[in-house]
Chain A
Amino acid sequence: MDEVENWARAAFRQAHLDVDDDDVAFVQLIYAAAIAQLHVLDQIDPDEFPVRAIDPSHAPE
């Protein structure tokens, strides 16, 4: 059992979600293809990306 599978099964147990092996296999695929890519956000420089209010209905002030 690899690290992602372990993690996924533990997360689903904690959330009381009934899943089967096929669900876990899909989740592993999606993790590798998409979720793992989110870590690029860890690398941003907070000084270059300051916190600002976001209202998607209007242009930024």
Chain B
Amino acid sequence: MSHPQDLSLREQASAVRRGDLDAGELLTMTLARIEERDGPINSTPVLFEASSRTMLADAPRGPLHGVPITMKDMFALPWRAARNGTPSELIPAAASGPFRRLRDAGAVVVGVANQHELGMGTTGSISAYGPTGNPWNPDHCAGGSSGGSAAGVSARLVAGSLGSDSGGSARLPAAYCGVVGLKLTYGSLPYDRYFGAGTSFSAPGVVARDGADARLLAETLLDRPLARHSGAELRVGVVRDPFWSDVDLEVASAADSALRDAGWTVVELQIEHLELVGAAVLCRLIAETGIPPSSVLATLSRPTRGLLLASLLAPARLVPRADRVRAAVRRSLAEAFTSVDLLAWPCAPTPAPALADPWVSLPSGRTLADTANLRQASIANLCGVPGVSLPVGLHSSGLPLGLQLLAPWGAEASLLDAGEHLELVTERAYVELTPPIARIG
């Protein structure tokens, strides 16, 4: 038999349920694989040898019984405080809301997924645990802030991971690493003891290898079924400028090919006030982030300290104006969804940049990857809608590319229907792509 972590999440759950796979053996082999394989990518820097065995012993016979997963450092666990990618215990150990949903389904948390420090970056290049490398090329970024989740799933260390998404933090790493990253609708599950509780932007995000696995995890987190329908007859809206026009040409080409392969009806449309989204997002995020205590601030990297300190210079009088823009953009997006089922554009505008130089070149010029990534992703957070990044092949650099889809509030099922349809018509060509690190052993 192949290694059980080469099976999908649902295959693992099914095999355990049928008695074909011993959950204890699955856990042992998963921990061993992470130990053996994770060194170059550093996706899962903390393993729970003892706590995961206790969790398995107590696991109910739910839909994820005995299935190993990882969780981002933003969620408190009963045996470990959430550190948010810093050395400091920022939320005391306790069963966070998202953890409870996974525990009650029988999942087993085997480790902490690495993340960008305080979630304040889309590259994963800065973390108290060290940077996260991309499984397709460890010298390149895995993305952020949920980089450990995407890298670990891509490298076949676990088949599912819980990340989060405040400005693309689940979708962007998924695009960089060639996996599925689903941002849930804001506020759609309990947020207690999760860093997202302090913002109006953040939502837990599911990272998995394909649409069906993402559906299983999302159903668990949302505690409701996401009924499967055909994704063949969807109407998809595309907003060309800047989401398609100011991206790497190969990225645009791959995303466009995916839309054609899917056979969806593509409608070009505009979203009013798009030019103000960046300022509204930044203004609101700054207002909601605040500055941590000096004892924490002193431990942070220079760039993160700089971002936090610079927030003191943001005029508070602009926050109500940002909210006026936010309300208007939400209405524009809702209006768009009266004529289309989904919106589509490339997720990350380039393949993953080098860890040593997290800048990207776009038709509009060279810029920080964070700036370009936020532009592509953050409208979903400003509005609260769910979004997904689906793998759509490889760049000539050998790095993965992602197509982003957004859906109306609560319509996660439509995103997964679309993803599974794309897998069907492409004969799973993109979701079966395997990084070099996952071909060893």
Q: Are B305 and A42 within 8 A (Cβ)?
A: no
Are B313 and A27 in contact, CB atoms less than 8 angstroms apart? yes
Residues of A within 8 A of B330 (CB): 54, 56, 59-60
Instruction: Please indicate the chain A residues that have their CB under 8 angstroms from the CB of B310 in the complex.
Output: 8, 26-27, 30-31, 34-35
When A and B form their complex, what is the total count of cross-chain residue pairs whose Cβ atoms lie within 8 Å? 126
Chain A residues with Cβ below 8 Å from B116 are none
The verdict on A26 contacting B324 (CB below 8 Å), with A17-B294, A38-B314, A41-B283 known, is no
- Provide the residues of chain A in CB contact with B297, threshold 8 Å: 17
B324 interface neighbour in A8, A37, A50, Cβ under 8 Å: A50
B303 engages A56 (CB within 8 Å): no
Q: Is the CB of A26 within 8 A of B327?
A: no
Contact A19 B309 (CB under 8 A): yes
Q: Closest approach, in angstroms, between the C-beta of A4 and any C-beta of chain B?
A: 7
Contacts of A34 in B (CB 8 A): 282, 310
The answer to whether B334 touches A49, judged by C-beta atoms less than 8 angstroms apart, is no
B-chain residues with CB within 8 Å of residue A7 when the two chains form the complex: 313
Q: How near does chain B come to A21, taking the closest CB pair, in angstroms? A: 12
Chain B count of residues within 8 A CB distance of the other chain: 51
User: Which of B233-241, B250-258, B315-323 lies at the binding interface?
Assistant: B315-323
Q: Mark B318-353, 1 if CB is under 8 A from A, else 0.
A: 101111111110110010010000000000000000
Contact B331 A60 (CB under 8 A): yes
Inter-chain contact A8/B313, CB cutoff 8 Å: yes
Enumerate chain B residues within 8 angstroms of A12, measured Cβ to Cβ.
309, 312
Q: Is the CB of A23 within 8 A of B321?
A: no
Alpha-carbon distance A27/B305, docked complex (angstroms): 9
Is A38 a contact partner of B408 (Cβ separation < 8 A)?
no
The interface-forming segment of B19-27, B34-42, B48-56, B185-193 is B185-193
Which one of B283, B309, B325 lies within 8 Å of A26 (CB-CB)?
Answer: B309
- Given A17-B297, A37-B278, A38-B282, A44 contacting B321 (CB threshold 8 A): yes
Knowing A51-B327, A57-B187, the reply to whether A41 touches B312 (Cβ < 8 A) is no
Q: How far is the CB of A10 from chain B (nearest CB, A)?
A: 10
- Contact (A11, B294) CB under 8 Å given A27-B306, A38-B283, A49-B328: no
CB pair B314–A49 under 8 Å, yes or no, is no
Of the four ranges (under 10, 10 to 19, 20 to 34, 35 or more), the interface on chain A belongs to 35 or more
> Which DSSP category, helix, strand, loop or mixed, fits chain B's interface?
helix
Q: Could you say which residues of chain A place their CB within 8 Å of the CB of B305?
A: 23, 26
What separation, in Å, do the CA atoms of A40 and B383 have in the docked complex?
20
Closest residue of chain A to B185 (Cβ to Cβ) is A57
Give residues of chain B (271-330) contacting chain A, Cβ–Cβ below 8 Å. Answer: 273, 276, 278-280, 282-283, 286, 291, 294, 297-298, 302-303, 305-307, 309-310, 312-315, 318, 320-328, 330
**A23 CA / B315 CA spacing, docked (Å):** 20
* CB-contact partner of B306 in A23, A37, A50, under 8 A: A23
Say yes or no: A18-B318 contact (C-beta < 8 A), given A35-B310, A44-B276, A58-B384: no
With A51-B320, A56-B383 as known contacts, state yes or no: A29 contacts B306, CB within 8 Å. Answer: yes
Q: Which residues of B contact A57 (CB under 8 A)?
A: 185-188, 384, 409
Q: What is the distance, in angstroms, from A46's C-beta to the closest C-beta of chain B?
A: 7
The answer on a CB contact under 8 Å between B309 and A8 is yes
Please report the C-alpha to C-alpha distance between residue A35 and residue B106 in the assembled complex, in whole angstroms. 45
Which A residues are CB-close (under 8 A) to B322? 41
Point out the residues of chain B lying under 8 angstroms from A42, CB to CB: 318, 321
Output the nearest chain A residue to B409 by Cβ-Cβ distance.
A59
Closest CB-CB distance, B188 to chain A, in whole Å? 7
Flag whether B200 is at the interface (Cβ < 8 A): yes
In whole angstroms, what is the CA distance A15 to B201 when docked? 26
Contact A41 B325, beta carbon cutoff 8 Å: yes
Interface centre among B185, B298, B327, B408 (most CB of A within 10 A): B327
Contact A37 B282 (CB under 8 A): yes
The 4 closest A-B pairs by CB, nearest first: A56-B384, A26-B306, A57-B187, A49-B324
- Using CB atoms and an 8 Å cutoff, list the residues of chain A in contact with chain B: 4, 7-8, 11-12, 15-19, 22-23, 26-27, 29-31, 33-35, 37-42, 44, 46, 48-60
Q: Can you spell out 21 A-B residue pairs with CB atoms less than 8 angstroms apart?
A: A8-B312, A8-B313, A17-B291, A19-B309, A26-B302, A26-B305, A27-B313, A30-B310, A38-B279, A40-B279, A41-B280, A41-B322, A42-B321, A49-B273, A50-B324, A52-B327, A54-B323, A55-B384, A57-B187, A59-B408, A60-B327
